[in-house]
Structures are given as structure tokens and as C-alpha cells.
Chain A
Amino acid sequence: MKDEKMEPKVEKALAELRPTPARDPAAAARGRAVFLAQAAAARKQAARQPGWFGSLFSARPRMQRRWTNALIAAFLSIAVFFGGTATTVYAAQDSLPDQSLYPVKTWSEDAILSLTASPQARLNYTLDFTDRRIREVAELLSNGKAVPERVFTRLQDQLEQVLNLVAGMDDPTMIQDLEQIRLRAEAQLQTVAELMAGAPRSDQPILLQTHMRLQEQVQLCAMGETNPGGFKLQIQQRQQYRGGRGSGLTPTPDGNAAQTPTGQTPSETPLPSGGGYGPGQGGNEATGTPGQYGPGQGGAQPTGTPGHYGPGPGSGGQEQTPQQGGGSGKGP
């Protein structure tokens, strides 16, 4: 075989990488203990919950299934309308951000919104799209893949769009819809909290930011249910602030624009590191003090306030490891 006739020098060179120093027994023991603690927490979680996907779907009301079916029909109509292949658009609906059909999926979402005249229908579609983003994150993480930042950006845009749409409705309808949006955001919040318990540290800051944004969504909805006027005013202020920052707007058939801004509003939660998606000053990669970020494996909710998760001891550019920190970011 060709590989067996490999240039001997290459083989010899590769052989130099074979010897490895003995593993530090203390570090190995710590790693084992952390894993077993995680396993114990996972066992408890499995006993009381149906799992990420289960929890997501169990929280989905009958109304959502109806809209999902309508969504599929709409995808196919759009595909035919644009002369595209309906099969491709349909197949794209299950694609993940690291797959080639994913742009078709996001395009079809935008196309549906721009072709949908009814604000209520646009709201329902957009809510479904936020669920999709969460499922994409969960699937990528469970496949051991990094989650592209654009997934979170799109989720945040869609969360904002939901608020803008609901704020444009009459008060009785708005209050009814706000409850649905809040329930959906609470289910998403729980899913993100579960994801944080097992996600790699490099994904923790962005998950935390998403968690905080969802908390904000829940709070805003709760406020709107009791104070519709105040809610509309607050959403108007968010729109004005975002309007000055430039954003992508999804055109709608009635000529209005459903905002899909990309900037942050003053009331949005700041990034954990205070400026970028990285976790700390000095260019660290999710290397803050282990255990700093997450909810741990016991299913506790991360309740950090803005700034609470700040740079911490991660500043200075030194990568801190669980060994150095004496624990683990996903510790028990």
C-alpha cells in the first residue's frame, strides 16, 4: 500500500511525536472526579426532565405545531414561487449552521417573513424561528462542534423582532401574545441553562449572554402583561435607539419593516467580558476561573447580573486550566 511506502523520513519525523510524558496523576484524578460528578448530575437531570429536546417540545403549545405545519407549506410555496427546488428548501429546514444548506434555511425564513402580511402570523413564525436557533445550538453542542456567533446574533435579532411585532398590536391581543412569548422564552431559558451545564468553556460566555437576553425577554413580557402602555413605550425607545445604529430590516408586504437589528440597546445585557464574546481581558479564551460561569451540573439557573461575570482573574492573557484553578467550569 502506498501509505506503507511512505517516505521514511516522514515516518521518522512523526515517530518523534509518539512519546508522551507521563500524565500527572493528580490532574488525571481530578478529571475523573469532575466527569463522575457531571455524570451524577446528568443522571439526576435525566430522572426529572425529558432532556433538552423534550423540554423544548413539551413546552410547545398546540398552536405552535399548527404554525410549524403552516411553515412547511409556506417553504414549499416560496420555493416554487422563486423557481427553486422545493425539495432543497424542504431539506434545508433540518440543516445546521455548519452545513451547506443552512443559508437556504435562513433565506427561507427571511422570505417567509417578507411574504407574510399578517403581523400575527409574522409573530408566530418568528417565535418558531427563535426555537429553531436554540435547537441548532443544542445540536451543534451535542455533536461537539463550536456554535458560530451568527446563530446567536440571529437569535437576538429575532427575539427583538418578536417584541417589535407584539408591541404593534392592540392591547388585548398584545397581552395574550405576551403570555405566549414569555412562556416560550422561559422554556428557551431553561434549555440554555441546561446547555450551559455541559457546554465547553469556550461557548460559555455567549451562552451566558443569550441566557441573560432571554431573562430580559421574560421580564419585558411580564411587564407588558401588567403595563401595556409602559411596554409599548419601552419597545419604542429600543427601536429608536437601534434605528440610529443601522440594522437589517426584514421588509414586509405592507411596506413596514420588522426590525431585525444587530446592535444592542441600552437595556440589553452586556457581554460577560464587557466588550467582546471572549471571556476576559487580555485575549483569553473562556479561561476565567473555572466554575465562574455556569450553573453547574445541578440544574441551577445562572442568575448573574451584568458585570457579575466580568473579566475576573482571566485577565492578563494567561490561559487558566481546571488544574490551575483547582476546579472545573462544569464542576459539580
Chain B
Amino acid sequence: MDTDVNPDPELLTRARQFDPQALAQIYDLHSPGLYRYAMRLLGDPAMAEDCVAETFSRFLQALQANRGPVDYLQAYLYRMAHNWIVDHYRRRPFPMEALTDGIRDRQAGPEEEAGQHLRREHLRAALNQLTPEQQQVIALKYMEGWENEAIARALQKPVGAVKSLQHRALAALQRILQEEDVL
């Protein structure tokens, strides 16, 4: 599906004039998806809320500076959110040491739920080892279900470059997951 929502070309124009209704509409339209996106990559509700808050705050900043998206608002917002997530992990690297135990043993029996949680953390840790662009393309394609054209807009790259990025990202992810005994 092409999820690049830009239903009303006038919406951004009104947002640039700080029209409260337009800004509220934009928030209501994109905040749930951005929250889910952040949750998938961060795994923490409070951090995901922070990510959403900062993303919209930066959007406002951009409008104040006469910058920001001309169109494709959704691609812009996800790019901002992803930058925040990357910066977050730069400031506070993923706690790999907490994940050193083998995960297959943890999946059995009554601890299945804890095992699933740990497995998800391993996946996030593996994703975190990819380059920021690789992470973004994997997240948008395989978690958010975006089409390549929409991903290309979010990454500000040609579709061909996105496809090749996807291919490299998948290969890298597969290798990491195999090395860490997740697959």
C-alpha cells in the first residue's frame, strides 16, 4: 500500500500559517502511526511518546523557520522520528550486554512471554547494528508496510537506490540474526 498520506494540499499551507485546526488534524492523522513506529523500534511506551512529541515539536520549529515539508508530510514526519530514534541510540547505545544469554532456551515453558520479549529486544538490537538508512528502510517496508515509492520519499532517495538499500539491509540483518542465534 502507498501510505504516504497527503490528502489535502491545503492542509500544509494552513499549517504553515499555524492554523490550529490544520495542526490538530495533522497531529491526529499522523501521531498514532508515528507512535507505533517508535514503539516498534524503541520498545518503550514512554520513549515512544517522547519521540512523537519531539517529532511534532521539530515540525513546528521547521514551520517557524519557513522550512519543513512542501508535500509528503508523512514521509517528512517519519524521517524526523527516525532521526530522533537514531540520535537516541547514539546517546544511549542499545544495552547489548543485557542480551547475552541465549534466547532459544528462554522460549520454552511458562517463560514463553518473557522469551518473546527478549526475542523482540534481540531483534531491535540487531536492527540497531544496521546503518540508520538500512534500519529505516527495513522498518518502513517490513513493519509499516510502505511501498518503495513512499519509502523513497521518506529517505529522499530514488526508488532504485531504495531497492538496493533494502537488499543490503536484509542481507546484513539476516547475517546478524544468524550470528546471534536468533534465526
Interface residues of A (CB under 8 A from B): 1-3, 6-7, 9-11, 13-18, 20-21, 23-24, 27-28, 31-32, 34-36, 38-40, 42-43, 45-46, 51-53, 138-139, 141-146, 194, 198-202, 285, 319, 321-324, 328, 330
Query: When the two chains form their complex, are residues A51 and B66 in contact, meaning their CB atoms are under 8 A apart?
Result: yes
16 extra interface residue pairs, beta carbon distance < 8 Å, beyond A51-B64, A322-B53: A13-B177, A23-B32, A27-B45, A28-B31, A35-B57, A36-B20, A36-B23, A40-B20, A146-B87, A194-B64, A198-B57, A198-B64, A200-B54, A202-B91, A319-B47, A330-B53
Residues A13 and B23 in contact in the complex (CB < 8 Å), given A3-B141, A18-B40? no
- Of the residues A9, A16, A32, A323, contact of B119 by C-beta under 8 Å: A16
Contact of B143 among A18, A21, A321 (CB under 8 A): A18
Q: Are B67's CB and A142's CB within 8 A?
A: yes
A-B contact pairs, 22 of them (CB 8 A): A13-B123, A13-B177, A15-B142, A16-B119, A17-B40, A17-B41, A21-B45, A23-B32, A27-B46, A28-B49, A36-B23, A53-B65, A53-B66, A144-B58, A144-B80, A145-B87, A146-B91, A198-B58, A199-B61, A202-B91, A322-B53, A328-B53
Does residue B124 face the partner (Cβ distance < 8 Å to A)?
A: yes
A141 / chain B contacts, CB cutoff of 8 Å: 58, 61
Contact A2 B20 (CB under 8 A): no
Tell me the minimal C-beta distance from B129 to chain A in angstroms: 14
Alpha-carbon distance between A31 and B49 when the two chains are bound, in angstroms: 7
Q: State the main secondary structure of chain B at its contact with A.
A: helix
Question: Quick one: which of A14, A21, A52, A139 contacts B123, CB cutoff 8 A?
Answer: A14
A27 and B174 contacting across the interface, CB-CB below 8 Å: no
List of A residues within 8 angstroms of B119 by Cβ: 13, 16
User: Would A10 and B174 be within 8 Å (CB), given that A27-B45, A32-B27 are in contact?
Assistant: yes
CB distance from B17 to the nearest CB of A (A): 8
In the bound complex, what is the Cα–Cα distance between A16 and B62 (angstroms)? Answer: 35
| Chain B, range 16-63, C-beta contacts under 8 Å to A | 18, 20, 23-24, 27-28, 31-32, 35-36, 39-41, 45-47, 49-50, 52-58, 60-63
Q: Cβ of B120 < 8 Å from any Cβ of A?
A: yes
Residues in B neighbouring A14, C-beta threshold 8 A: 123, 138, 142-143
Going nearest first, the 7 A-B pairs with the smallest beta carbon separation are A43-B18, A321-B46, A198-B61, A144-B80, A20-B39, A144-B58, A14-B142
List residues of chain B with CB within 8 A of the CB of A198: 57-58, 60-61, 64
Q: State in angstroms the CA–CA spacing of A38 and B55 once bound together.
A: 12
Whether A24 contacts B45 by the Cβ 8 Å rule is yes
- With contacts A35-B57, A36-B24, A51-B64 taken as known, whether A144 is within 8 angstroms of B91 at the C-beta atoms is no
Which of B5-13, B94-102, B162-170 lies on the face that meets chain A?
B162-170
Contact partner of A42 (CB less than 8 A), chosen from B63, B143, B167, B183, is B63
From the candidates B32, B46, B61, name the one contacting A142 in the complex (CB within 8 A).
Answer: B61
The residue of chain A having its C-beta at the shortest distance from the C-beta of B173 within the complex is A10
User: What residue of chain A has the Cβ atom nearest to residue B83's Cβ?
Assistant: A144
A321 CB contacts on chain B under 8 angstroms:
46-47, 49-50
Chain A residues with CB under 8 Å of B142's CB are 11, 14-15
Contact B46 A323 (CB under 8 A): yes
Complex interface residues of chain B between 89 and 125 (CB less than 8 A to chain A): 90-92, 116, 119-120, 123-124
Chain B residues whose C-beta falls within 8 Å of the C-beta of A319 in the assembled complex: 46-47
Are B46 and A324 in contact (CB-based, < 8 A)? yes
Q: Is the CB of B120 within 8 A of A52?
A: no
B182 lies within 8 A of chain A by Cβ: yes
Q: List A contacts of B174 (CB < 8 A).
A: 6-7, 9-10
Nearest chain B residue, comparing its CB with the CB of A146: B87
B62→A17 contact, CB < 8 A:
no
Q: Are B57 and A10 in contact (CB under 8 A)?
A: no
Whole-angstrom CA separation of A51 from B143 in the bound complex: 38
Residues of chain B within 8 A of A146, CB atoms compared: 87, 90-91
| Complex CA distance for A18 and B138, rounded to whole angstroms | 12
Tell whether B84 is near chain A: CB-to-CB under 8 Å: yes
Residues of A within 8 A of B46 (CB): 27, 319, 321, 323-324
**Residues of chain B with a CB closer than 8 A to A24's CB:** 45, 49
Docked CA distance A293–B14 (Å): 31
Which B residue sits closest to A330, measured CB to CB?
A: B57
Beta-carbon contact of A35 and B23 below 8 Å: yes
**Do B18 and A46 touch (CB < 8 A)?**
yes
The answer to whether A46 and B64 have CB atoms under 8 Å apart is yes
Min CB distance, B105 to chain A, in Å?
A: 17
Partner of A35, one of B27, B50, B120: B27
Inter-chain contacts of A18 with B (CB < 8 A): 40, 143
Given A36-B24, A146-B87, A198-B58, CB of A42 within 8 Å of CB of B163:
no
- Chain B contacts of A142 at CB under 8 A? 58, 61-62, 64-65, 67-68
